[in-house]
Amino acid sequence: MSIPASGTTATAPAGEAARHSLIGLSREELAAEIEGVGAPPFRARQLWHWIYHRGAKDFAAMTSLSKEFREELAQHFTIERPATSRSQASLDGTRKWLLKFADGNEAECVHIPEEDRGALCVSSQVGCTLTCKFCHTGTQPLVRNLTAPEIVGQVMLARDALGEWPSPKEGRLLSNIVFMGMGEPLFNYDNVAKAVRIIMDNEGIAISRRRITLSTAGVVPMIRRCGEDLGVKLAVSLHAVTDELRDEIVPLNKKYPIAELLAACRDYPGSSQARRITFEYVLLKGVNDSPAEARQLIKLLAGIPAKVNLIPFNPWPGAPYECSTPEAIAAFSDVLTKAGFIAPVRTPRGQDIMAACGQLRTESLKARRARTKIEAASA
């Protein structure tokens, strides 16, 4: 099922300088921008409220500001969202947007609704350098880090589509944010941290740190800092219980092996039984899915307030793995559950719109390459 794509990039009329977007600026940067056009810094607070609490899409809607000031703002700035090259809705309610940034690069974000809440899975980079063997994004070359405006833009776009402005206090469809889209957020820490601070700000989007999860393949030196600075929840893509296997499927392990990674998790500031660290474990048939490995996992996680997310492998064309059998998944989960772990098996969502990591963008890249071939052939 397709829903129409929306959004445009700000194009200045000929002869005019390009207008900057105010989305994704810190409070201080926002104040500095408007000071530059002669407005006192306290106006930044009002603007913040309109942009991030009310979700205004143009300055004209900001009725508590004088007409002159609104016109001044509109001359210099925009609050337009990132453009979307594609936007899809799954039969199960999952929605996926392919964002197209001003330089033509694309990244995806996915909203996964549940009964009384919903998570937005955001991307932190275009492509990824990690080359995890089971992940499709790893087969794409890294193009670049996303900026804070591009990360915040994903949330703004989803909130627009879900009609959740002004920021609702309760019953939100977009209640949680997970950095589990494309990219490694701890390789783009500064931009991610800046975006997270904007998203958490109580006078704006106001999604609390308890509802934001940053997922990492294990960039050990950044883990503590992330906990100290941001206090968000941590998810770790573990996927294997021996260094030998993890070296192969998550090559970052060669730099930061399992023991170092788990030591950083034990020290993660703010984790507790109420705020467990999530360990993600993709189940690959005959590779990492035996009951013996489940038992080894229990030993490794001793002393860490942990929860395990068991993720059936989502296959992609040419992938070197298959998904574990339902029996193997049930047996693996059973070992963990009997040992007292919360270990849900994640049901794949949005399969009809290819919600597997990196797929939508790849489809779009393929289509573009095919078009280029056709154009080249007919030239």
Q: Which residues lie below 8 Å from residue 273, measured CB to CB, with a gap of 6+?
A: 305
Place of tokens 């154009």: 375
Site for ligand SAH, residues 130 to 149, rule: CB under 6 A: 130, 134-136
**Shortest Cβ 283–ligand SAH spacing (Å):** 9
**Shortest Cβ 364–ligand SAH spacing (Å):** 18
Q: Which residues lie below 8 Å from residue 201, measured CB to CB, with a gap of 6+?
A: 27, 48, 52
Site for ligand SAH, residues 167 to 196, rule: CB under 6 A: 180, 184
Choose, by CB under 6 A, the member of 282, 336, 354, 355 that binds ligand SAH.
282
| Active site annotation includes 357 | yes
E-only strand ranges, the chain: 20-21, 77-78, 83-89, 95-100, 106-113, 118-121, 125-126, 144-145, 176-179, 212-216, 233-237, 277-283, 306-312
Which stretches of 301-358 are DSSP H helices? 326-338
Is-contact 306 233, C-beta < 8 A? no
Residue 272 neighbours by CB distance under 10 Å: 9
**Shortest Cβ 145–ligand SAH spacing (Å):** 13
Q: Give yes or no for residue 122 binding ligand SAH (CB under 6 A).
A: no
* Closest C-alpha to 250, from 171, 184, 341: 184
**Shortest Cβ 280–ligand SAH spacing (Å):** 4
Look at residue 116 and give its three-state secondary structure: coil
Q: Give yes or no for residue 264 binding ligand SAH (CB under 6 A).
A: no
Size of residue set near ligand SAH by CB under 6 A: 17
Is-contact 138 128, C-beta < 8 A? yes
Q: Give yes or no for residue 279 binding ligand SAH (CB under 6 A).
A: no
| Active site annotation includes 108 | yes
**Shortest Cβ 352–ligand SAH spacing (Å):** 16
Q: Give yes or no for residue 215 binding ligand SAH (CB under 6 A).
A: yes
Q: Choosing from 106, 108, 184, 280, which is the catalytic residue?
A: 108
Q: Give yes or no for residue 261 binding ligand SAH (CB under 6 A).
A: no
Interface residues toward ligand SAH, by CB under 6 A: 130, 134-136, 180, 184, 215-217, 237, 280, 282, 311, 313-314, 356-357
Q: Which residues are catalytic?
A: 108, 357
